[in-house]
Amino acid sequence: MAKSIGRATVIKKNATAIAGVRTKTIAWGGESIDVTSNEDAGVRLLLSESAQEQLDISFDGIESDYVLRDIALDTTSDKMLTDITYELDDGTVISGNFRLSSYEMGSPYNEATTFSATLESSGAWTVTPPAP
């Protein structure tokens, strides 16, 4: 399996890399459908499909452009971002609509201002494999 370096993975908003990002995490989740009944003798039985699937993107870094902060603090914004891409180091691109669900900014004394944020998928996302 090929090894990779984390900084080669980039999160973009409107085709521009989100500034200051250092750590990125993408997490898929699929909610199981439990169909266990008396006939199963107490052993759980699940359907093969998910009741609901979601993709969450979490990231943090050094605050530098305040774009996400401004979106988070804008009381008139619905926080839906329709221009997000998650570009992996191998050229795979994940894109879709994501809602900014959390934002946190830290301002420690004598250190750089930091931020962390989480985006939650809304609707289906697309995965575009790398070009051959």
Supply 61's token pair.
Answer: 């870094």
pLDDT for residue 1 is more than 70: no
Domains located in the chain, CATH noted: 6-128 (2.30.110)
Supply 128's token pair.
Answer: 């575009």
pLDDT, tens digit (0-9, with 9 covering 90-100), for 56-85: 999 999 999 899 999 999 999 899 999 999
Distance CA 45, CA 33 (A): 9
- What CA dihedral angle connects 6, 123, 127 and 104, to 10 degrees? -10
Distance CA 107, CA 116 (A): 12
Distance CA 100, CA 93 (A): 19
pTM metric for this prediction? 0.88
